[in-house]
């Protein structure tokens, strides 16, 4: 949640007021989105039918499917970093921090959280060994407070979280407020905030909380199709109810008014039905219009894929022999979503780098300008390696080796790959040079005199 204020500092009462707004305006929406992602759809609260009639509650979890596909497409390939300058030492120091935090896996957690809730957050801190760490926190725990300027400068970040005792019988709410110098800890008691000790310095140059919006509107990837998913769940559940009603059909005996319960048991046992003259037997069933029902479900499926921009990967059009260009056209909608995610996520990564760079400079490890770091995202597309290799071969000599290597999907670090290539060429050059050595007399080694 992000709020704007004209106040330069927040009092304890202001923080309590923001927490109240957060709980009433934001948390309910986010928790519902997370519930749907986990499969807790509204169909599970379907009212019971009379007389113990079949009451199926089928969950078709398109929400999880949409998030999984978008997250994998966007962040399935690790983000790569390089320097616009010759300062390779600074990039190496930054990458060491990322490696220490398993940054690739961490980014996937952030991307998944943003896909579900519309936004994700991380807190940057130093651990007991004074190493720089960053950790993802749930979206429903964070409030970002900015000023009212066009830049929306960050004033502070509020994190509210709950801790249960060992027995799980009581839960205590805590509130941490991060500004650009301190972390202030509070304990919530019946809605009142109690200060816990003195503010604790965090030693970073800015508020050490970073936000990652999913898009400009901070909407989840499946938020716009939840009503369609509800409709599909209902259609599937009612269809199965009708099928079970059909299985539990009644046998109607005409002209057999004297049939007793014992007669019915005998009929069920012997599988023989004896009818009087003029009598008949038939099943009383509900007439089902299968085509109508299936057309409705197909239309709902198509609308879910259409409005979420996530195609049905089981469709025959995604054949294994389709060219890279053909697949890209089919994934055009997902690519539009990915490009929007990339722009928003990149701002978060730049701020992460800026905060870490300040700490690295304080520790005299590196002096990095976040604007000098290239951040490269790669869509996780099925790659036609032969096609990619042909493109690289045709561009050889026209662009740099580093750029050529970055075009290959299996090369995650072009700089390291260039260094390995150079190492492999050194012994070959030595061997070649040895064959062409000349003696002082001007004759080639090994030649007859």
Residues of the chain below pLDDT 50: 435-449
Query: 221 with 159, same domain?
Result: yes
Is 139 inside a domain boundary? yes
Does 276 share its domain with 377?
Answer: no
Could you tell me if 373 and 414 lie in one domain? no
86 three-state secondary structure: coil
What is the DSSP secondary-structure string of 377-421? ----PPP-HHHHHHHHHHHBTTB-HHHHHHTSTT-S-HHHHHHHH
In this structure, the answer to whether residues 119 and 153 fall within a common structural domain is yes
Q: Which of 122, 166, 165 is nearest to 141 (CA)?
A: 122
Is residue 443 one of the residues assigned to a domain? no
Residue 138 lies in a domain: yes
Examine the domain organization and report whether 278 and 407 are in the same domain.
Answer: no
pLDDT for the residue numbered 337: 96
Same domain, 15 and 127: yes
In a domain, residue 441? The reply is no
C-alpha Rg value of the chain to the nearest Å: 33
Would residue 448 count as lying in a domain?
Answer: no
Instruction: Looking at the structure, tell me whether residues 40 and 56 fall in a common domain.
Output: yes
> Looking at the domain assignment, is residue 322 inside a domain?
yes
Same domain, yes or no: 241 and 254: no
Could you tell me if 265 and 340 lie in one domain?
no
Same domain flag for 147 and 185: yes
Beta-strand relationship, 154-164 and 200-201:
unpaired
Residues 254 and 331 both lie in one domain: no
Q: Is residue 18, in this structure, part of any structural domain at all? A: yes
Query: Which structural domain range is residue 421 located in?
Result: 389-436
| Separation CA 345–CA 114 (nearest Å) | 9
Examine the domain organization and report whether 7 and 109 are in the same domain.
yes
Could you give the number of structural domains in the chain? 3
Measuring CA to CA, which residue among 144, 89, 102, 96 is closest to residue 120? 144
- Name the DSSP letter for residue 444: B
**Eight-state DSSP code of residue 349:** H
């Amino acid at each position: 949640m992000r709020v704007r204020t004209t106040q330069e500092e927040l009092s304890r009462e202001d923080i309590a007021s923001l927490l109240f707004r957060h709980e009433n305006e934001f948390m309910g929406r986010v928790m519902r989105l997370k519930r749907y992602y986990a499969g807790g759809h509204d169909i599970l609260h379907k009212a019971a039918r009379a007389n113990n009639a079949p009451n199926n509650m089928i969950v078709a979890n398109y929400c999880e499917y949409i998030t999984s596909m978008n997250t994998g497409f966007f962040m399935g390939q690790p983000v790569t970093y390089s320097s616009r300058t010759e300062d390779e030492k600074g990039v190496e120091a930054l990458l060491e921090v990322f490696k220490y935090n398993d940054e690739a896996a961490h980014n996937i957690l952030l991307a998944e959280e943003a896909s579900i809730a519309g936004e994700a957050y991380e807190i940057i801190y130093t651990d007991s060994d004074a190493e720089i760490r960053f950790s993802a926190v749930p979206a429903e725990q964070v409030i970002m407070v900015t000023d009212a300027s066009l830049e929306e400068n960050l004033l502070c970040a509020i994190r509210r979280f709950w801790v249960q005792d060992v027995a799980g019988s009581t839960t205590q709410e805590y509130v941490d407020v991060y500004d650009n110098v301190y972390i202030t800890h509070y304990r919530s008691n019946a809605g009142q905030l109690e200060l816990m000790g003195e503010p604790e310095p965090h030693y970073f140059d800015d508020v050490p909380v970073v936000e990652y919006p999913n898009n400009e509107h901070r909407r989840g990837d499946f938020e716009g199709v939840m009503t369609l998913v509800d409709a599909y769940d209902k259609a599937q559940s009612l269809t199965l109810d009708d099928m079970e009603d059909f299985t539990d059909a009644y046998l109607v005996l005409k002209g057999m008014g004297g049939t007793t319960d014992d007669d019915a048991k005998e009929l069920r046992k012997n599988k023989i039905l004896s009818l009087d003259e003029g009598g008949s037997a038939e099943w009383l069933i509900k007439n089902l219009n299968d085509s109508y029902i299936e057309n409705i479900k197909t239309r709902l499926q198509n609308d879910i894929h259409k409005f979420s921009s996530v195609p049905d990967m089981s469709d025959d059009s995604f054949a294994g022999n389709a060219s890279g260009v053909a697949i890209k056209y089919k994934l055009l909608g997902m690519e539009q979503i990915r490009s929007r995610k990339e722009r928003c996520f990149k701002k978060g990564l730049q701020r992460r780098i800026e905060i870490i760079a300040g700490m690295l400079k304080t520790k005299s490890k590196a002096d990095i300008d976040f604007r000098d770091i290239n951040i490269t995202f790669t869509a996780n597309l099925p790659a036609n390696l032969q096609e990619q290799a042909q493109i690289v071969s045709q561009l050889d000599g026209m662009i740099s080796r580093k750029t050529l290597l970055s075009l290959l999907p299996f090369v995650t670090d072009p700089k390291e790959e260039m260094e390995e290539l150079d190492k492999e060429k050194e012994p070959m050059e030595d061997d070649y040079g040895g064959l062409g050595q000349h003696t002082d007399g001007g004759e080639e080694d090994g030649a007859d005199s």
